[in-house]
Amino acid sequence: MLRPRCSPILPRQPRPICIIGAGSIVRDAHLPAYALAGFRVHSITNRSREQSEHLAAKFGIPHVVDGLDELIATAPQGAVFDLTLPANLFAGVLRQLPVGSPVLIQKPMGETMDEGREILQVCRDRKFVAAINFQLRFAPFVMAAKDLIDSGLIGDLRDMEIRVTVETPWDHFPFLRSVNRLEILYHSVHHIDCVRHFLGDPRGIHAKTLKHPELDMPASRSAIILDYGDTVRANIQTNHFHKFGPKHQESYIKWEGTKGAIKATMGLLMNYPEGVPDIFEVCTFQNGRPVWETVPIEGTWFPHAFIGSMAQVMRAADGEKDALVTPVEDSIRTMACVEAAYASSAAGGIDPKAFINS
């Protein structure tokens, strides 16, 4: 039985956490993850104090404070600041945090590339130990796949495919109704970052993102190709408006190598936020024939991946070398891929009529 590593290294001495924001991602992922890991949340603030008080009561947070100034003034020495705000607010908040602070910043790294560069510069100027919460890298099934692929089990990676066909309940994220960019920036950014985690930076991006005429929101469907040359395929396909029941919903990452393959079914995205069970399958050749094995994996994307996102910041702040997996210095490269995808979508394809009389 394969037993891949699927959980992060925890800090020897967890630091207190101060949370800025109290939305659904805090309720459904951050706070449940920190409770599982035994991380102590010291304080929380949100523009709606009532919302902060509700989460404080539910998760045993001792301090609900009014605003950023009070949060900073009452923060314990060495606390990690956990930013869970709309992305266009990050740079302004970061400028107010104490120099040298450990910081975990919710994805995406700004709503535009300019905002991403601004966030990066602020983090550099203020000497933060800073990471972006690209927590899919810490999802147990992704960690397991990385462990097996790094061990050489499936050989050289030749194909990586991510496909999501689901009905996403956008009412869980009301702020997204006011954004100009949606699917790639707030969802497929995870997938792009995950592909980079395994294959590095692509040579180029080909993409199309588009609205659904029945959904009063920005684009909710995308097709993205990441170019890694002539022998490696990396493909992301997403449709968040599959309203036809669960029978043909899909949500998976598939890795194919020269000696085998791995498929991880991401149950969270189907029937979100309750989800359905993940499935982790590994194919190897036995006597020349492909044999698939289902491997048990402990934990799932929400909330377990959020343990790793926070743990990396705590460990890095304590000086553990190479602890950061999603530092701002690397995350800006994921944001560059996002920007390239939007540029590709805006540029459009090549009209085949141009070749009829050529």
Write the pLDDT tens digit of every residue in 64-74.
999 999 999 99
- 150 and 196 in a single domain? The answer is yes
Whether the pLDDT of residue 358 is over 80: the answer is no
Residue 337 lies in a domain: no
- 177 and 290 in a single domain? The answer is yes
Residue 353 lies in a domain: no
Report the share of the chain in percent with pLDDT over 90. Answer: 92
Name the residue range of residue 50's domain.
17-135+305-324
Report the alpha-carbon distance of residue 193 to residue 195 in Å, rounded.
5
pLDDT digits (tens, 9 = 90+) for 270-329: 988 888 999 999 999 999 999 999 999 999 999 999 999 999 999 999 999 899 999 999
DSSP character at residue 50? H
Residue 280 identity (one-letter amino acid): F
Residue 283 lies in a domain: yes
Whether the pLDDT of residue 104 is over 90: the answer is yes
Confidence (pLDDT) at 288: 94
- 130 and 251 in a single domain? The answer is no
pLDDT digits (tens, 9 = 90+) for 109-126: 999 999 999 999 999 999
CATH, residue 129: 3.40.50.720
- 120 and 150 in a single domain? The answer is no
- 131 and 144 in a single domain? The answer is no
Residue 207, CB half-sphere, CA atoms under 13 Å: how many?
29
Angstrom distances, CA of residue 206 to CA of 46, 194, 218, 221, 227: 39, 17, 19, 14, 8
Confidence (pLDDT) at 173: 79
- 53 and 148 in a single domain? The answer is no
Confidence (pLDDT) at 16: 98
pLDDT digits (tens, 9 = 90+) for 161-199: 999 999 998 887 777 878 889 999 999 999 999 999 999
Report the alpha-carbon distance of residue 298 to residue 294 in Å, rounded.
13
Q: Contact 296/23 with Cβ under 8 angstroms?
A: no
Report the alpha-carbon distance of residue 272 to residue 25 in Å, rounded.
12
Confidence (pLDDT) at 274: 84
- 65 and 78 in a single domain? The answer is yes
Residue 338 lies in a domain: no
- 105 and 122 in a single domain? The answer is yes
Residue 12 lies in a domain: no
Angstrom distances, CA of residue 208 to CA of 183, 221, 224, 349, 354: 11, 8, 7, 9, 20
- 83 and 153 in a single domain? The answer is no
Domain count of the fold of the chain: 2
Q: Contact 239/165 with Cβ under 8 angstroms?
A: yes
Residue 9 lies in a domain: no
Whether the pLDDT of residue 234 is over 80: the answer is yes
Secondary element (H or E) of residue 253: strand 250-257
SS3 content of the chain, % helix, strand, coil (to 5): 35, 25, 40
Residue 348 lies in a domain: no
**Full-model pTM:** 0.96
Report the alpha-carbon distance of residue 326 to residue 333 in Å, rounded.
11
Confidence (pLDDT) at 273: 81
- 145 and 77 in a single domain? The answer is no
Q: Per DSSP, what are the bridge partners of residue 63?
A: 43
Residue 354 lies in a domain: no
CATH, residue 167: 3.30.360.10
Whether the pLDDT of residue 247 is over 80: the answer is yes
What's the average model confidence in pLDDT over 135-139?
Answer: 98
- 39 and 118 in a single domain? The answer is yes
pLDDT digits (tens, 9 = 90+) for 140-159: 999 999 999 999 999 999 99
- 109 and 151 in a single domain? The answer is no
